[in-house]
Amino acid sequence: MTTTRALVDEGVARLRALGFETPRLDTELLLAHAIGVERTAVVAHGEAPVGPGTEAAFRAALERRAEGEPVAYIRGIKEFHGIALAVDKRALIPRPETEHVVELVLTEVMAQLTGRAGTGGARPVRVIDVGTGSGAIAIALAVGLRARRVPLDEVGVTAVDISPDALDLARENAVGHAVGDRLSFEEADLLPPSSAVRPWDVVAANLPYVRSEVMAALPTPTTFEPAQALDGGPDGLSVIERLLEALPTALAEGGAAFLEIGADQGEAIVTLAGDRLAGWSCRVATDLAGLPRTAVLRRAMP
């Protein structure tokens, strides 16, 4: 009977020959998924026998990976900010870089809550995740608030997406993490109409920021993801610019917006914000690699 080590060696050789960057990691994750165990079990038990059915499932998964399909779609799971999210072709696969947005938003929400403490009858902090996709930011935020024991009535989080299919996936993930009671969902192109009547205190967004001319040259796995979630227009900032133009009526006084950007868009977003949001502050926070990653915009109190 075939062993886990033999299948790993086979998979690594196959993917390495095709030029994959992480052939061993990919193979171990796919085999672990086929067996129904954690990757560490595959690594630790190289002599464990693998039955015919599991072997066939692994080979089918390996074939899909060899054709370029992302491991996350094959497994149906992507780890993000300490939680496991269901993922499929309805939405973009959450990236590690976006975890930085979650951290910044969590810090901002807690700061706003602290600032309102003791004011008596203060309204809840209103947060919106624009272009929620799988729900990654909104759900990670809700899980983080629950871990910090923030009462439900103190923070309201709304997840918005233009794609009804993506919203369905986000709802499924919210239920899976038992935070459905902390979130609401709306289908809209960027911001819902109600934003002009009831502005948001915190805006978070991971919108498309890839330049259109670069789309055709993206790595093969990216072609399996929704193009609508990646293509940011000629300069990569077309969708983000539309959101900036809406912020004066959608973001409350003293509020903040956190927008993920491309690593080469730091200077461009500061210039764009200066043109569209006179009097607002804009700084660019870097990720763990020291690259520009999140534009932080603040609207001053009058």
Q: What is the mean pLDDT of the chain?
A: 95
Domain boundaries, the chain: 4-67, 98-298
Percent of the chain topping pLDDT 90: 93
- As a whole number of angstroms, the distance between CA 212 and CA 69 comes to 21
pLDDT of residue 300: 82
- As a whole number of angstroms, the distance between CA 111 and CA 68 comes to 43
Q: 249 pLDDT band (50/70/90 cuts)?
A: very high
pLDDT at 14 over 60: yes
Token representation of residue 298:
């603040």
pLDDT of residue 197: 86
Q: 196 pLDDT band (50/70/90 cuts)?
A: confident
pLDDT at 120 over 70: no
Token representation of residue 216:
């055709």
pLDDT at 138 over 70: yes
Q: 123 pLDDT band (50/70/90 cuts)?
A: confident
pLDDT of residue 121: 57
How many other C-beta atoms lie within 10 A of the C-beta of residue 49? 12
pLDDT of residue 301: 76
- Nearest to 244, CA basis, from 181, 297, 172, 182: 297
State mean pLDDT over 191-204. Answer: 93
Bridge partners of residue 183, in order along the sequence:
157
State mean pLDDT over 28-43. Answer: 96
pLDDT in tens, 97-117: 999 999 999 999 999 999 877
pLDDT at 293 over 70: yes
Q: 118 pLDDT band (50/70/90 cuts)?
A: low
Look up residue 69 and give its amino acid: E
Q: What's the pTM?
A: 0.93
pLDDT at 288 over 90: no
| CATH code reported for the domain at 4-67 | 1.10.8.10
CB under 8 Å to 150, separation ≥6 — which residues?
110, 113
CATH 3.40.50.150 fits 98-298, yes or no: yes
pLDDT in tens, 54-69: 999 999 999 999 999 9
- As a whole number of angstroms, the distance between CA 210 and CA 237 comes to 8
- As a whole number of angstroms, the distance between CA 166 and CA 132 comes to 8
pLDDT in tens, 161-173: 999 999 999 999 9
